[in-house]
Amino acid sequence: MGKVIILTDSTSDVPEKVRKQLGIEMVPLKIEIDGVGYLDNVTLDPGTFYEKLKASKELPRTSQPSPAEFMEAYQRILQREPGASIIAFTLSSQFSGTYQSALIAGSMLEEQADITVIDSKSASYGFGVRVVRAAEMAQAGASKEEILEEAKRLEENTELYFLVDTLEYLQKGGRIGRASAMIGTLLNIKPILTIDRDGFVNSADKIRGTKKAMNRILDMLGETFTPEEPVAVIMAWTSDGEETAKNLHELLQGRFNVRKTDDTFIGPVIGNYVGSGTAAVFMYRLKG
């Protein structure tokens, strides 16, 4: 049985330290701010990005990696680990052509390598949890089939919500009109976003005030998870969102049986569309 190597793109928001520990390969998306190009989570870290985002009048532009960039990553892995099987997890195909680039590159090597490309139908740690778990299993010697089965289980048992602090970036990104953004800001409206099973972003609700919005998130999670069953929680945030994330985490621990917890930053590409002050929760059901 050959070794299994896990690859992802930068929007999974798996921290560099974790990627290094678990041997996760990463292909970055690109982001352009005021005419200057950067590689997501490589040449542009979240902290620097959010400073630039606040100063930029226009919403930065993002773009997918090319098939050639995925091909280079696959070949780099195969040179290092001949005969390895590669599992590549990508950002939802509804947000980006990243999945197609990874798929095209894989098809070009299909006679030389065993490459499985998965459209996560999610974003950030919505699929980052699958990337990390897959890499942990690969390190422990699990087979490709076992890893894919666990990835599917996590996909079916993970819920996520983004609590957005400001409507500014949704307006800049064309998701709401300027008038709606202005009125919503005046009324202290806090949008709660989620991603459905088909990989589309949806508005889960719009609540007036952060505290009420956090309680609404708990109620929505309560529709999927019981207070007794063991769950894992990953909190994530953009700049100025850490306090909200920590407050939400405290509420979650009071409502649910949280057995495992972690946190991370939301990277530049995803943060570009939700903006500063955003807090996100990713919750999944633990086995047993």
> What is the DSSP track for 126-162?
HHHHHHHHHHHHHHTT--HHHHHHHHHHHHHTEEEEE
Q: How many Cα atoms occupy the beta-carbon half-sphere of 74 within 13 Å?
A: 27
Are 15 and 151 in a shared domain? yes
Are 177 and 122 in a shared domain? no
Are 145 and 166 in a shared domain? no
Q: What is the pLDDT along the chain (288 residues), one digit of tens a residue?
A: 579 999 999 999 999 999 999 999 999 999 999 999 999 999 999 999 999 988 888 889 999 999 999 999 999 999 999 999 999 999 999 999 999 999 999 999 988 899 999 999 999 999 999 999 999 999 999 999 999 999 999 999 999 999 988 766 565 655 444 544 444 454 577 888 899 999 988 888 889 999 999 999 999 999 999 999 999 999 999 998 999 999 999 999 999 999 999 999 999 999 998 888 999 999 999 986
Q: Is residue 83 part of a domain?
A: yes
pLDDT of residue 108: 94
CA dist., res. 268 & res. 127, Å (int): 16
Are 241 and 199 in a shared domain? yes
Q: Mark which of 156, 181, 213 sits at the end of a domain.
A: 156
Q: How many domains, the chain?
A: 2
Q: Give 3-state DSSP helix, strand, coil % of the chain, rounded to 5.
A: 40, 25, 30
- List the domain range (segments joined by +) for residue 98: 4-29+64-156
Whether the full predicted model's pTM is greater than 0.85, yes or no, is yes
Strands 25-27 and 4-9: parallel
Are 83 and 164 in a shared domain? no
Are 11 and 150 in a shared domain? yes
Q: Is residue 233 part of a domain?
A: yes
Are 12 and 127 in a shared domain? yes
The answer to whether residues 123 and 11 touch, using CB atoms and an 8 Å cutoff, is yes
For position 144, which CATH number holds?
3.40.50.10170
CA dist., res. 84 & res. 144, Å (int): 10
Name which of 178, 190, 206 is nearest 241 in CA terms.
190
Q: What single-letter DSSP state applies at residue 122? A: S
Are 81 and 177 in a shared domain? no
For position 204, which CATH number holds?
3.30.1180.10
Are 175 and 253 in a shared domain? yes
CA dist., res. 9 & res. 87, Å (int): 12
Q: Is residue 53 part of a domain?
A: no
φ, ψ of residue 137 in degrees (nearest 5): -65, -40
Are 170 and 258 in a shared domain? yes
